[in-house]
Amino acid sequence: MKHLSIKARVALWYAFSLLAILVLVAVLLLAAGDRLILDEAQGNLTAVTDRCVGDVLIQGGKLSIDNDIVYYSDGAYVMIYREDRTLISGLRPEGFPEETAFAADEIRRVKGAASSFYVYDRLIENRKVGNIWVRGVVSARMQDMAPSVMKMIRGFLIVLPVLFLIALAGGWLLTRQAFLPLQKIVRAADHIRTSGELDMRIGLGSREDADEIRQTAAVFDAMLDQIQDDFEMEKRFTNDASHELRTPIAVILAQSEFALENLEEKAEVEESLQEIRRQAQGMSELVSQLLVMARAERGIEQMKKQPTDLAVLAEESAGRFSRMAKEHGIRVQVSMAEDCYVNGDEVFLGRMFDNLLDNAIKYGRPGGFVEITSSREKDQIRVCVRDDGIGIDPQDLPHIWERFYRADHSGKTMHKDGIGTADEERSMGIGLALVRWIVEEHGGKIYAKSTPGEGTAFELLLPEYQRKMD
């Protein structure tokens, strides 16, 4: 039994359970029917015997039997005896023992050579003709008392194996249909295991189905969709990250070799070291942002939200980038309203401003400006980081939030973090993705507006912190 499949076990359990129920019902019906049939047979026996007693007359000292007497009726035989067991008239059933003693007004069971009988005797007492016994006899065998019932039993015994086979086949078909989704789940999982591909789906239903197994199949499909999306995203992310790191590593190696080969040329060595330092800083920033986002998405680094003034964070970020802005000849101006409080994490919101300023300064116009402004709209705070750089092409604007997005154009290269020169093969393309994630984690939204040749503006809406009134 333990080696049978679940389908076979369920089908057998279903068939045997139905068989047991049918047999139990049949036994109960037969037991109740046997009692009723016996009561009816004994009732017929006494009724027929009593009726025949009325047909036996003694007139003028002589025994007279009515010509209309019926010696067999409703399965009962009637015999008329004298006291010395001399049969006067009547019908004796085959196999009935003649030596059976008389007992007035009592139904008895008498066993013959081949069968059993129920006997009922009535005594007619008369001094002139002597005692007369009217005896009624009925067979005690069920097939004689109720032949239709016995036919039904025989038919039931014939039909029972057929019902069992039908139940077995029906149970097998039902369980096969019920377990079909599980078979498809197994095939899908085995296909994924052997092929390493995640494109196979079960496709049997939705989560709204009443069938629990089909709901399981739908959840399995949704899980595969999520796994495939995550796998593809991680695959793209790994490929893009490796490309992003390959260029600065190649530059560092080339500059290091160049410096080692030209140790006597102080100016060239210094220039190589500056380039190495710049590339290493870019790699460090990329790795740092990747680590922050990875830890945050996995819930390792939780945000510690508290009332935070965005104006203060914007001023602090502008201070950190003052040197970089000066080197690029860009003026940074912060014109934030007072008390721009949100319920947020200072570290993440500070990084948000840092990324936006880094993006604006790095790809801004020499001699231009970057300004940070704010305003209130109902229960929200709108913050705008605007520059007068060369802008973003319209076809690239919807994709700037994607990690490591790259779009090459003549003269300039649009990257995920902004626009760079055409000779930049790769850019550190995760800054804006991290900005958008930080804004959404704070319950806000961020938009980008840009006109090529005129500049770019990033506008973000964050829920304003509502102070509780005493």
Evaluate if residue 368 carries a pLDDT over 90: yes
Determine the CATH number of domain 1-178. 3.30.450
Instruction: Tell which wins on pLDDT, 153 or 309.
Output: 309
In DSSP terms, which residues pair with 380 in a beta bridge?
A: 377, 463
Percentages of the chain per state (helix, strand, coil), in multiples of 5: 50, 20, 30
Name the percent of the chain lying above pLDDT 90: 21
String of b and e for 397-417 (b: at least 16 CB within 10 Å)? Answer: eeebbbbbbbbeeeebbbbbb
Evaluate if residue 421 carries a pLDDT over 60: no
Q: What distance in Å separates the CA atoms of residue 29 and residue 23, rounded to the nearest whole number?
A: 10
Q: Which residues contact 244 (CB under 8 A, 6 or more apart)?
A: 286, 404, 426, 427, 428, 429
Instruction: Tell which wins on pLDDT, 15 or 395.
Output: 395
Phi first, then psi, for residue 79 (nearest 5°) are: -135, 145
**Same fold across 1-178 and 303-463:** no
Q: Residue 83 — very low, low, confident or very high, per pLDDT cuts 50/70/90?
A: confident
Mean pLDDT value across the chain:
81
pLDDT (0 to 100) of residue 412: 43
Q: Which two tokens stand for residue 40?
A: 């009816």
Q: What distance in Å separates the CA atoms of residue 360 and residue 354, rounded to the nearest whole number?
A: 10
329-350 confidence digits (pLDDT tens)? 999 999 998 889 999 999 889 9
Evaluate if residue 199 carries a pLDDT over 80: no
Evaluate if residue 370 carries a pLDDT over 90: yes
113-165 confidence digits (pLDDT tens)? 778 899 999 998 888 888 899 999 988 876 666 666 667 777 777 877 887 78
* Closest CA relative to residue 386, chosen from 359, 413, 406: 359
Cβ contact 364:388 at 8 Å = yes
32-76 confidence digits (pLDDT tens)? 766 777 778 888 889 999 999 888 888 777 888 888 889 998 888
Q: What distance in Å separates the CA atoms of residue 20 and residue 87, rounded to the nearest whole number?
A: 51
DSSP string, 153-208: HHHHHHHHHHHHHHHHHHHHHHHHHHTHHHHHHHHHHHHHHHH-----------TT
Q: Which residues contact 135 (CB under 8 A, 6 or more apart)?
A: 49, 78, 79, 80, 81, 90, 102, 119, 120, 121, 122
Q: Is 364 helix (H, G, I), strand (E, B) or coil?
A: coil
Q: Which residue type is seen at 19?
A: L
Do strands 107-111 and 412-415 pair parallel, antiparallel, or not at all (unpaired)? unpaired
Phi first, then psi, for residue 289 (nearest 5°) are: -70, -40
Q: Which residue type is seen at 114?
A: A
pLDDT (0 to 100) of residue 443: 93
Q: Residue 207 — very low, low, confident or very high, per pLDDT cuts 50/70/90?
A: low
Q: What distance in Å separates the CA atoms of residue 48 and residue 54, rounded to the nearest whole number?
A: 10
Q: Where are the domains of the chain?
A: 1-178, 303-463
For the ranges 91-95, 341-345, 396-400, the maximum mean pLDDT occurs at: 341-345
Q: Which residues contact 386 (CB under 8 A, 6 or more apart)?
A: 360, 370, 371, 373, 455, 456, 457, 458
Residue ranges with strand state E in 326-404 = 331-335, 341-344, 369-377, 380-387
Evaluate if residue 203 carries a pLDDT over 80: no
Q: Which two tokens stand for residue 408?
A: 């090459």
pLDDT (0 to 100) of residue 373: 95
* Closest CA relative to residue 465, chosen from 436, 447, 446, 444: 444
Evaluate if residue 405 carries a pLDDT over 80: no
Q: Which residues contact 425 (CB under 8 A, 6 or more apart)?
A: 247
254-265 confidence digits (pLDDT tens)? 888 888 888 888
Cβ contact 108:115 at 8 Å = no
Evaluate if residue 284 carries a pLDDT over 50: yes
Q: What distance in Å separates the CA atoms of residue 255 and residue 92, rounded to the nearest whole number?
A: 131
Evaluate if residue 315 carries a pLDDT over 70: yes
Q: Which residues contact 221 (CB under 8 A, 6 or more apart)?
A: 201, 202, 203
For range 345-373, the mean pLDDT: 91
pLDDT (0 to 100) of residue 413: 41
User: What is the number of other CB atoms lying within 10 angstroms of the CB of residue 243?
Assistant: 14
Residue ranges with strand state E in 6-75 = 56-59, 62-65, 72-73
| Domain 303-463 CATH assignment equals 3.30.565.10 | yes
Phi first, then psi, for residue 304 (nearest 5°) are: -110, 90
